[in-house]
Structure 1
Amino acid sequence: MPRRQPWEELPDRVRDEVSRHIGPMRSAVTVPSGAYCDLAVTLDTAAGRFFCKGCQVDGPTDWLHRNEARVNRWLPPAAPRLRWTVEQSGWLLLGFDHVAGRHPDLAPGSPDLAPLADLLAGLAHTLTPAPPVPIQRFTYRWRDLIAPELVDGDTLLHTDMTPRNFLLGDRPHLVDWSSPARGAAWIDAAFLVLRLVRAGHEPVDAETWAGQIPAFAAAPGDAVTAFADALVRLWERKQRTAPGPHHGPLLAAARRWSAYRSHLRAYTHGA
C-alpha cells in the first residue's frame, strides 16, 4: 500500500478548512488499516472525535470518495454519518462521526456472526427500494460475469464485505460505502458467504448462516449458483491482472463454494 499521508503534511489551507468545520484539534492519529485512501486519520477535537479520510483530487480513488459522499445521507444509522466535506488545494476530505469498535471474527463458532446477520437483514430491508440517488447498477458492474436478470433488483448494496468494513462496538456498523450498487437484495449476504468460506466455514454452513437473512433465504437457487460461479471468474481475473496476497485465498474459497453449488444442483436435478 502506498505511503499514507500524515495529517501534519497536508497543506495549511486544507487543515485550516477542516478546522473551520470542527474547531481546534487536540490530536490527529493516522489509521494504518484500510485501503484506497491517501489519508485516514482520527481527529480529536473539543467538539468530539471524527474519522477523516481523503485522497488527492482527480487521483485514482477520487471517484470512490465521491461515491461515498453522495450516498451517505441516504444510509441508516449503521453507517457513520458524514458531517463535512472539504475540497481544497488538490485534496478531497470526508469527515465522519467517529465509531469505536473492532473488526469481527468470521471463524466458525464466532459470536460475532449473529450481529452481522442482523445487520445485513436490517440493511436489506431498509434500503429496499433503493433511495433516489444515482448509483451504478450491479448488472452493469458484472455485465461480463453473469446473466443480468439473475442479479437485478432495487436494493442499495454495499458490495465490499471485507471484515475490515465492519466495526463491532455498542452496535454493529458497516463503513466505507465507496462501491455502492443497485441490485438484488441478497447480494451483500452472498458476498459475505464467500468471506465465511474463506474464514474456514464449510459452504453448507456459510449458507445456513446466510439463511437467517430473509433476502438471502428468498434468493433463487439458480441465481446463487450463478453468483458463486461468477465469483470464481472474478477472482481468477483479479489474480491474473493484479495479483495480491488475499486474492489466492478468496479464489480458493470461491472455487469451494462453486463446487458445492454444482453438487447441490446435480443432486437436486437428479432427485
Structure 2
Amino acid sequence: MARQQWEQLPAAVRDAITARCGPIEHVHDASAGSIGDFAATLGVHDVGRLFCKGAQLDTDRVGFLRNEIRLNQHLPGDLAPRLRWHAETAGWLVAVFDHAPGVCADLRPGSPDLPVVAATLTRMAAALTPCPPVNIQPATARWGRLLDPSLVDGDTLLHTDMTHNNFLITDGRAQVVDWSMPCRGAVWLDTARMLVRLIRAGHSPTQAESWAAQLPTWAHANPDAVDAFAAALAKLSRRLRDNSTDAPHLAEMATASDAWLQHRLLQRYRPRSVPSPARMQ
C-alpha cells in the first residue's frame, strides 16, 4: 500500500496533530525511507520543523512505529531525534519527533561522508552497549533459522537498517533515524550490514572490508561468525529478491550480499603459498 499524503489523512488525525503541534504552515511529505503509512516534515508556526510519522492500527506497520516510540528515550540525543509526543486517534498511531537536519549520507567510493558514518557507528556501539533495558527482539531469534544463534548473540542495541537514508549528516556529524527494526545482538552486526550497503554503492568487497577494519566494532568480530552471517545474509537477500515483483533495490542488495559472501569464501579457502624447494634448502 502506498504511503498516504497529508491531505489523505483522516480529518480527525490532522486535527489531532495540529492541536498538539500548533498551526501547520507547510508539509513536505517524505519521499524515501521511514516505514509507515505516513511520514512528513511539518513546518509549524512559532516552532519550526518537526517530523511526523503515522501508522494505521490495523496494519503490521504499526509495530515498527511502536518500536521507535519504545526505544526513543534510550537513544542518546546526539544520535537520534527526540520524540516529542505520540497518540492514538481515529484508528491511527502518530508520533512527532524533533526534525533531524542534514542530508542523506553518500556511501559511494571517495565520499567525504564515509568517515562520518564510521564515527557514527562507533558512537552508536559505545553508547548502546550494554543494551538499554528495553524489550526488543534478540538477534539470536531473528537469525536463528539461518545460522548458529550463538554466533550473533550479544548485548548491543542495534539499528539494523543501514540504508544511507537513515544517516542524516550536517556539520560533520550524523543523526540516525528510523529505529523501527532494532534488535539486541553482537556489536559488529550493524557494521556488517553497512559493509554490504557499501558494496551496493560501488565499493569492492575488499574496499568495504578495509573500511570496516577501521571500526573498533569490527575488531570484536569472530571471522567464523562473520562468514556464517555473510552466508545467512546472502540467503535471506536472495529470498527477498525472489519473493518481490517490483523492488529493484532488493535485487541490488542480493547482488551485493552474494559478492561479499564470495569474497569471504575466497579468503577463507585461498590456498596457502608453499615455499619452493630452493627456498626450503
**TM-score above 0.5:** yes
Could you report, residue by residue, the CA deviation over 1:166-185 in whole angstroms, capped at 9, with x for unpaired residues?
A: 11113211110000000000
1:87 is aligned to 88
1:64 equivalenced with 2:34 (yes/no): no
CA distance in 2, matches of 1:199, 1:110: 11
Specify every segment of 5 or more residues in structure 1 that has no aligned partner in the other structure, as ranges: none
Given that 2:35 and 2:180 are in contact with CA atoms closer than 8 Å, whether structure 1 keeps it comes out as: no
CA distance in 2, matches of 1:23, 1:247: 40
**Are residues 268 and 132 of structure 1, via their aligned partners in 2, closer, same or farther at CA, if it must alter by over 3 Å?**
farther
Given that 1:158 and 1:188 are in contact with CA atoms closer than 8 Å, whether structure 2 keeps it comes out as: yes
Q: Secondary structure of 2:95's partner?
A: strand
TM-score, with normalisation over the residues of structure 1? Answer: 0.95
Report how far residue 196 of structure 1 moved. Answer: 0.7
CA distance in 2, matches of 1:27, 1:143: 46
2:203 is aligned to 201
CA distance in 2, matches of 1:123, 1:220: 20
TM-score, with normalisation over the residues of structure 2? Answer: 0.91
1:250 is aligned to 253
1:29 is aligned to 28
2:221 is aligned to 219
Q: Which has the larger radius of gyration?
A: 2
**Are residues 147 and 98 of structure 1, via their aligned partners in 2, closer, same or farther at CA, if it must alter by over 3 Å?**
same
Given that 2:36 and 2:64 are in contact with CA atoms closer than 8 Å, whether structure 1 keeps it comes out as: no
More displaced, 132-141 or 163-172? 163-172
Report how far residue 218 of structure 1 moved. Answer: 2.1
| 2:5 counterpart letter in structure 1 | P
Could you report, residue by residue, the CA deviation over 1:100-125 in whole angstroms, capped at 9, with x for unpaired residues?
A: 21111111111110000000001001
Paired residue total: 270
Given that 2:13 and 2:92 are in contact with CA atoms closer than 8 Å, whether structure 1 keeps it comes out as: yes
1:19 is aligned to 18
1:74 equivalenced with 2:71 (yes/no): no
Q: Secondary structure of 1:246's partner?
A: helix
The percentage of aligned residue pairs carrying the same residue is 48
1:6 equivalenced with 2:8 (yes/no): no
Q: Secondary structure of 1:32's partner?
A: coil
1:147 is aligned to 148
Q: 183, 186, 195: which one pairs with 1:184? A: 186
2:42 is aligned to 43
**Are residues 151 and 117 of structure 1, via their aligned partners in 2, closer, same or farther at CA, if it must alter by over 3 Å?**
same
Given that 1:210 and 1:217 are in contact with CA atoms closer than 8 Å, whether structure 2 keeps it comes out as: no
| 1:161 counterpart letter in structure 2 | M
CA distance in 2, matches of 1:20, 1:268: 68
Given that 1:189 and 1:216 are in contact with CA atoms closer than 8 Å, whether structure 2 keeps it comes out as: yes
Give the RMSD, CA atoms, in angstroms: 1.6
More displaced, 17-26 or 222-231? 17-26
CA distance in 1, matches of 2:184, 2:239: 23
Given that 1:18 and 1:86 are in contact with CA atoms closer than 8 Å, whether structure 2 keeps it comes out as: no
**Are residues 187 and 269 of structure 1, via their aligned partners in 2, closer, same or farther at CA, if it must alter by over 3 Å?**
farther
CA distance in 2, matches of 1:124, 1:268: 35
Given that 2:5 and 2:38 are in contact with CA atoms closer than 8 Å, whether structure 1 keeps it comes out as: yes
Given that 2:40 and 2:51 are in contact with CA atoms closer than 8 Å, whether structure 1 keeps it comes out as: yes
**Are residues 268 and 93 of structure 1, via their aligned partners in 2, closer, same or farther at CA, if it must alter by over 3 Å?**
farther
CA distance in 1, matches of 2:193, 2:271: 23
CA distance in 2, matches of 1:28, 1:212: 40
Given that 2:160 and 2:181 are in contact with CA atoms closer than 8 Å, whether structure 1 keeps it comes out as: yes
Given that 1:41 and 1:52 are in contact with CA atoms closer than 8 Å, whether structure 2 keeps it comes out as: yes
Specify every segment of 5 or more residues in structure 2 that has no aligned partner in the other structure, as ranges: 275-281
Given that 2:152 and 2:185 are in contact with CA atoms closer than 8 Å, whether structure 1 keeps it comes out as: yes
Report how far residue 62 of structure 1 moved. Answer: 0.8
CA distance in 2, matches of 1:208, 1:268: 21
Given that 2:130 and 2:156 are in contact with CA atoms closer than 8 Å, whether structure 1 keeps it comes out as: yes
